[in-house]
Structure 1
Amino acid sequence: MDTTSHVYYGDSKVCEEENYEGLKVTYGYSKDKRPDKKQIMSGMITNELGLPLYTETLDGNTADTVWLPDAMRHFRDLFGEMYSDSIFIADSKLVNKKNFGVLFDKTNPFSFISRCPEKFCSRIAEKTVSEAYSLNEWEYVGPCCKDEESKRATKYEVQGFDKIVHGNECRLVVFRKLDGDERLANESKKEREKIEEGIKKEFKKPFACEADARKAMDEFAKKYKPSLFNVTFEIQEETIEKRPKGRPSKSQQKLKITSEFYVKLKSLEQNKEKMEKAPSVVGNCSTDYKCSLRYKKQ
């Protein structure tokens, strides 16, 4: 199950008329990366081969979290009594406390697979990942798809844990990528170059005061916080003597003394802890893991 956006071209003034109750062509989150254009959304349920089983046209500002409960009802209607033998797969928008009430319905529970959001249920994903790395009992499962059997296919290791999530038994599976040292070295090199380029761009000019320089350093650190590198800076103050503007008088005018503050790179070193986990994040350094959540009884 998933949704997507479609850029709308044409006249949509009717959508702005009073008491209009039809499809709303409007601005919303653009998966086409065109937030400047009005759009409509569509939701789709497919089978395991990707063939559409159900599709619905939605208002342009419909969020996944809004349509998901409807999608689950459509899923149940599509398969009838056989739905209990099927697995409902959706992205992390599926995983929230409200949807758990539907997924774990006592009469008609769903079997499902989804990615566990980072902050869900008191950061249970983060805690489970830490537990996985502490135990270090990874099981090799190979490529995720049968048609990816090649030397270049990404391979995976996993660990599974039974957890109680909002009062329901779930299976949390942590998996990490296995990539060669050469690929990791290339990724590390690219990230270093990205950081160095960012430093040149952000700190090219001096700052008028030390407070502004420190603020810029903090903002840079937040921007590159998930990095494989630890970046440290130092502030260098330079004193400049300036003559007042205008033609100098016969009597010698005093020079105006001002200070400028430069942010300089002090060190750029690899984060050893993150480098050890790096095989799981090559190609995406914003997270150190992926954690999927499954209904335990599936």
Structure 2
Amino acid sequence: MNAPGKLISFIVWAIVNGNCAFSAEANCGRLEERLLFRKDISTEPTEYPWIGLLVQRRDLYQKFESAECNVAIVGESHVLTTASCVRRLNNRPELVAVRLGIWDVENEPGQQYICNDRGFCVPGPVQYLVDAITMHPLADRDTGNNDIAILRLSQRINMTAYIQPVCLQPTLEPASWTSMDLHYGGFHEYDIKKGKGSVIAISRQCCNNQTGTPPPENQFCGFPYFGAAFFKGAPMMGINVEDDVPSSFYLGGLLAKNVDAGQALMIVFQDIRPVRHWILDNINSSSS
């Protein structure tokens, strides 16, 4: 093998064997400022590495298939999604799994690495079984309020450059999201690759005027700049700033539903702020 070929083989080996490993406790919300202002609607492979895909099966003998819901890594063995994504499977966690480190929904677990025709390679997705599902105790099927669930995985997540948690704790959080330009990402119906977008949060009054129905108490609305309907559970992120430099993303919301507001799409997010302590308490209690 020639020198360039050996180099490529070594890089692939290093990635696959976790030489680029990260600690879930010390590293979260990885952010590259150069990517904040680009207009791309697809992510780079290492961008938003906390986003994964929820998969499900009908029984233990069936193959896992996409549940068309996103998940977000928030700990060493925990991910978040919406309660509405897992409600009917709440008592059957063995029928649920998550695929992490996934960039293209057509890639299957077990593929060591995937390369395109230009020789660009990324590791294949890793599938983790779900050990327990905990829905928010006030999750309301009728109103959609508190639409959030914690999934405890059957084993600790092997963190890599492509699989990392989003921060849960902000350094400084606004009292209101209204009029803020926010980032979100995940998988959606119009592309096989992990996408991203930005949304401007609007007031409850404006949301009510646009849809005829006010959002539930712990949810808020926003108009996206990119009109694709992302799957439920797509995380919305705030930005931690240190020394006047954007340093990391923290979780601000989860996409609860998409609403047709006439000629525009409106997104309703589950606000993380009112449920953050519940998330942290559950993660810490099950990890101890």
What TM-score comes out, normalization by structure 1 length?
0.25
RCO (CA 8 Å, sep 6+): is it higher in 1 or 2? 2
Structure with the bigger percentage of helix: 1
TM-score by length of 2: 0.25
Whichever of the two has the greater Rg, that structure is 1
Structure with the higher fraction of residues in strand conformation: 2
